[in-house]
Amino acid sequence: MKYCLYTLLISALTLAQSTTSTYVTDLNGRRAEASSITASNGERTELSRSINGREVPLEQTEERILRQDANSKVTEKIVRKYDQTGRLTSTERVVTEEQGFADGGSIVKASTYVSDVNGQMHESERKTIESHKRGAVILADAIIQKPTINGTFETAEKRTSVTEPSDGGKHENETVYRRSQNGSFYEALRQTTDAQQKGDQTVENTAFYEPDVTGQLKLARQSVSTTSKRSDGTEVTEVNLFARAVDGRLQDNESPQQIKEQQIIERRKRADGAVVEALSVRRPTMSDPKRLGELKQVSETVCRGKCSADH
């Protein structure tokens, strides 16, 4: 999970269409389609198989530009979520206004509305993200407000971020502050990311610090990814996930970081233009938590249409 606060994720509204299908291996060892996504004209629909084999929607997203000029843009995003039978369970509407600054930074204000059990929409969150550039350094601050029981909004979370160039790459440092029960803010999370380009390889190291039993921030987990390209154009990413304890084992706050999972992601472009991404995973065995087990492919995703092997 990334806590990038100065970039608000808004998908591009394009006229191109893409279809993405994800396949997994079922209990009988057969390849089966688990889900599919179609995207076109700012609309995105995710489908899955119900328990009786029917294709039902999981999530539908619509995005459109309400207003745009040289320095600002207002967009609307509507997300409809469904249960496993295809029944609509909730609707979310996000209205985002972005204003650019002369220094290359921006201020982004987003209001989120969520439907209740009766289908009525209520504002559930207000988010303001302000970023500025100081030379090659990007400084950003975010304020997230939530409604109180009396209907007013108060700040529930603050985030600060600094992104600066480093030797052969960049360094990012983000801190998350959350409101405590007494109304003060405490340091709830810190994330640092170092990305470097080493020849034809890109290496990214992300560390997550969370409060321990004493309330002090301590390294909780870490992710190290290395991306390179083979001679045939296949892009290979190796992601190693570290934690104080592997899944299924009691966590000790004093334990050193140990690998809990290794992911191998291979992306290649086929002759027909489709982009194929295969995900394989290795995890420690219960008998020897310090040794990774056999590498097993867990899914394959095929994208047709507006696809890029670089994503």
Query: Cβ(282)–Cβ(296) under 8 Å?
Result: yes
Query: Cβ(191)–Cβ(204) under 8 Å?
Result: no
CA-closest candidate to residue 228, choices 218, 242, 239: 239
Report how far apart the first and last C-alpha atoms of the chain are (Å, whole number).
17
Q: Where are the domains of the chain?
A: 1-149
pTM (two decimals): 0.82
* CB-CB neighbours of 21 under 10 Å: 17
* CB-CB neighbours of 173 under 10 Å: 14
DSSP of 234-255: -EEEEEEEEESS-TTS---TTS
Mean pLDDT, consecutive 10-residue stretches, the chain (311 aa), reads: 36 63 85 91 88 85 95 96 92 98 95 94 97 96 96 96 93 97 94 93 96 90 96 95 70 73 96 95 84 92 78 42
Residue 192 in tokens: 């640092």
Distance from C-alpha of 173 to C-alpha of 152, rounded to nearest angstrom: 32
CA-closest candidate to residue 6, choices 161, 166, 204: 161
β-pair partners for 223: 206, 241
Q: Specify the pLDDT at position 7.
A: 34
Q: Residue type at 165?
A: P
Q: Specify the pLDDT at position 308.
A: 61
Q: Specify the pLDDT at position 254.
A: 64
Q: Specify the pLDDT at position 171.
A: 97
